[in-house]
Chains A and B, each alone.
Chain A
Amino acid sequence: MANDLKPKNYSLDELLYNLLYDYQYRNNFLNDEFNELNLSADNLNHIKTIDKEELVATAATIVRNLMSGNIEHKGGLRTSFPGVFQALEILETDITLLMHKFLASKHFECYMELPYAGEGTCIEEAFYNYLSENKEFILAADNNHLLLKHEFLNAILSILTVNKYPFFRIDSDLVKNNGHIYYAYQTYSKEIAEALSGKKVASDSEKVIWLYAATERNLIRGPIHPSILEMVEIGGSREINRQQKFKQDQIDWILNLGLIKNDG
């Protein structure tokens, strides 16, 4: 390889990041495949002091924390994506390996856990993006992508209910802001909507709009009439009243729920 095409040697930070989060890079180190590590002679010398057993234990703890806890006390991805993990288990997916692959992905790299360290997404969005690209999971069942999207929206809107001024970036165009609240919606078949709500959904149409909204006080989710969505998208009572096409009791109802701004 010509010198100018040679990849730059990893810095200490990059080296540590790779050891902690990139399972293949870590395996190269554990197997003494030093030529694969892309390190300067100095840094190759520095890594001799690493206790391999402790490195493996630390990497395992990182995966365990991400899956089962340490994010907002008792959270973890298993809590945010219960149905998805159940579906992965049905597929007999090696979940630990899947998590290691997620940690080594560009999506995980985009995740920012700390408020001051720069811009990045939350872990839930990173995981959603990662799994959306996992064909084995997505194609295994008709509703797997729908389930993933539903649980992602539930999770992120729950977080936004508690964190009005999140430090993380929201890249997904599924999540919107009407100037008053964050919200998202999906159109589901009546059958799916009824399965999600666990009861009959009153609708003349076979398609049902499902709202996820982070209001001042609560996470609001469930089936809504198209006119309600229209008002949520407008965002404020002044404009809604000006248009004179919405029923007053509906306007009062969504104002009371805190889905729109009361601006006259």
Chain B
Amino acid sequence: MSTVYQKIKFPNVKEKLGLGLGMDLPWGDDIGFSSKGDHDDITLKMKGFFQNYKDEFNYIFFAFQPKNRSVLKAEDYFDAYDRLFEANPHLKARAFHQTILNMGATEYYKKTEIIEFTNKIIERYDIKWIVEDLGLWSIKGKTVPFPLPPYMTPAGLEACIKNINEYQSELAVPVSVEFPGFTEGTNFFIGEINGFEYFRTLVEETNSPITIDIGHILSYQWLLGNTNEKMFNGLEKLPFENCFELHLSGCQIIKGKFRDLHHGVLMDEQILLLDYLLPLCPNLKAITYEDPKYTDEGILIPKSQKNYQRMKEAVEKWQMI
């Protein structure tokens, strides 16, 4: 076991979890939470999907979406989250995708409420890890439409390290820091430090486990001009030993721009990169299919089927090693 490995504060997950499910669950959407009077639930469409695919996913994470404009109180969310997990009794692990840690912020903001809220969710649902894209989710108390990458500057890096250290020390489980999205068509970034070097420095300084979102990596490569056969260039700079989780969500190239659309349809390039990364990440435990799209009957949409199967086969092969 390497000294680097010993320093990394990995989630308490001993065995490979294999394939898991990641879901953004806004309130009021057909894939999301519903609220009727005092009763919160997941939608029927979701229940059908969980039933149909119960043998295919071994863990789940869901992303935090605010329910209302009340003071942040974990108890307000228990009813909905209870229903979500009741519909998935077979899962081996649960994770929570936060959206309010705002780890890229250089401005001061109070973290007490966020930490208290998150720890209550961790405790009630035996959450094994927290994940959030490294980036700017809000500024001066206002959310941005899509998370922006952190400031790619020395001061931005220093702020990320400070924020992450605070969360790692105060949260009851580790935060797996997700490589930021540099997706064209949704965001832009400030500063000139190379993204892979930035990320490496950051996780070395904080000993954090990381999540590599394959679409985020490809989108960054596309921005750098590393398209097609050049898509593996420079990846050796990533801290593979820290990698605990991979994310795959539906992406598409539109007019030469790489878009992280979360529409459920994986690109061939994502499967190629998955195959490339699997043997390089010795501490990888979890591979998440993020935001699948399915019919009202809970069946994955036809366009997503082919590469979903390819991803599943790659994960199964990796799990057997």
Contact = CB atoms under 8 A, between A and B. Distances in A.
Chain A complexes with chain B: yes
Interface of A: 11-13, 15-17, 20-21, 42, 45-51, 54-55, 57-58, 61-62, 65, 70, 72-74, 109, 111-118, 120, 122, 159, 162-168
B71 A12 contact: no
Interface stretch (B87-95, B107-115, B206-214, B235-243): B107-115
Given A12-B106, A50-B188, A118-B109, 5 more contacts: A49-B189, A113-B143, A118-B110, A162-B69, A165-B71
Contact of B144 (A50, A58, A120): A58
B282 interface: no
B189 A113 contact: no
Contacts of A165: 70-71, 73
A227 B185 CA distance: 58
B136 A16 contact: yes
B145 A46 contact: no
22 contacts: A12-B106, A13-B106, A16-B148, A17-B139, A46-B151, A49-B189, A49-B190, A49-B191, A54-B186, A54-B187, A57-B185, A58-B187, A61-B146, A73-B28, A114-B138, A115-B70, A116-B72, A117-B110, A117-B138, A117-B140, A118-B109, A164-B70
Contact of A48 (B26, B138, B192): B192
In the complex, the 5 A-B pairs of residues with the closest C-beta atoms, listed nearest first: A117-B141, A73-B28, A54-B188, A116-B113, A61-B145
B106 to A, nearest CB: 5
Interface residues of B, number: 46
Contacts of B148: 16
Contacts of A118: 109-110, 141
Given A54-B187, A72-B68, A167-B72, A49 B140 contact: no
Interface stretch (B152-160, B161-169, B284-292): B152-160
Nearest to B156: A12
Given A51-B184, A113-B138, A46 B190 contact: yes
Contacts of A74: 28
B192 A159 contact: no
Interface of B: 26-29, 66, 68-73, 100, 105-107, 109-114, 136, 138-146, 148, 151-153, 155-156, 184-192
A131 B141 CA distance: 22
Nearest to A48: B192
A9 to B, nearest CB: 13
Contacts of B111: 116
A11 B164 CA distance: 21
